[in-house]
Structure 1
């Protein structure tokens, strides 16, 4: 089992890219990166792809490739910016298309039963223009409430943490370096 980093930022000189480099150093060679922009992942459901949803099937080769990687992973690290108080559309599309029925979950008499129990933990590392306290207390806390406590939990992932570097636009180089050091 290995660590899989799911990275969602289009700009190679972003702070998120610095986070990716720092996290990659931590895992040395025992990790894989799914760079959604670099790999030109298409997050949009086509009509035909959506018709396969009820069977948990796909016509997208990338989806099958990513599912195989996730099944071989024991840890996930998501790295992305907070845009409009949540994750970028490409990452939401990744979740929609890859976390399919019969792969990430099944419907059971008690509701959704998660199948990604091979994943022991998830670290979510984000950056935002908004302060972290604002995201948590005034804009709905989408990462904690929706992504961690709903989506990941329904997929069978019980151990997840979130670390955000807020107020990035006002941050100093020293503050950014300290955040990276503490990762």
Structure 2
């Protein structure tokens, strides 16, 4: 299993970065994971801004040469891991900009004249690891599970990815946030995950 980790946090002293380290550590101890690659969107200097004009059209985004290496990473991966904080009830704008550009028509899905398009990323699986200041139940009860709905239904199912697992960790700025326990949970998951 080849694993691509898309890390989205501007600070390498953050708890998100600690989760990244546990993903890598567990993956390297897992015989089912043959290779792991990390895409750090901030360190990479990824430009999340969509630009469309008379020379750059939305319908051609699936073949944009500036995004070729990122498309190759997604094609290469069997499992895609997203690590990010929840800000204002959703992933950071940097990650949303990556999603807007990478999950494009002609690459991630194809219109087929039906109600839903044909997903072109079938067979892949996704793990989303997110942290938030508020309590873990806040998104479910106050925001009607908007984050999971956005990621699972509006994005991953749309492009053919059916196997999606979420780790939403709340109260992460609290001294009672049980950080070590949650970090160890991620390490154990990646050490033993089979597909």
1:94-133 matches, cutoff 5 A:
94-110=98-114, 111-119=116-124, 121-133=125-137
Match of 1:85 in 2: 89
Instruction: Classify 1:146/1:50 alpha carbon distance in 2 versus 1 (closer, same or farther; 3 Å).
Output: farther
Instruction: Classify 1:79/1:96 alpha carbon distance in 2 versus 1 (closer, same or farther; 3 Å).
Output: same
Match of 2:171 in 1: 167
Unaligned runs of 5+ in 2: 29-33, 187-195
**How far apart, CA to CA, are the structure 2 residues paired with 1:129 and 1:7?**
18
Instruction: Classify 1:106/1:50 alpha carbon distance in 2 versus 1 (closer, same or farther; 3 Å).
Output: farther
**How far apart, CA to CA, are the structure 1 residues paired with 2:180 and 2:139?**
22
Bigger RCO of structures 1 and 2 (CA < 8 A, at least 6 apart): 2
Runs of 4+ in structure 1 over 2 Å off: 47-52, 55-60
Number of residue pairs the alignment of both structures matches: 180
Question: Could you list the per-position Cα deviations for residues 109-161 of structure 1 after superposition, in whole angstroms to 9, with x for gaps in the alignment?
Answer: 21321100141x11100100111111111123222111112210001100101
**How far apart, CA to CA, are the structure 1 residues paired with 2:4 and 2:182?**
21
Match of 1:5 in 2: 5
Question: Could you list the per-position Cα deviations for residues 80-128 of structure 1 after superposition, in whole angstroms to 9, with x for gaps in the alignment?
Answer: 0000000000000000001111100011121321100141x11100100
| Cα RMSD after superposing both structures | 1.8
Q: Does 1:46 align with 2:51?
A: yes
Unaligned runs of 5+ in 1: none
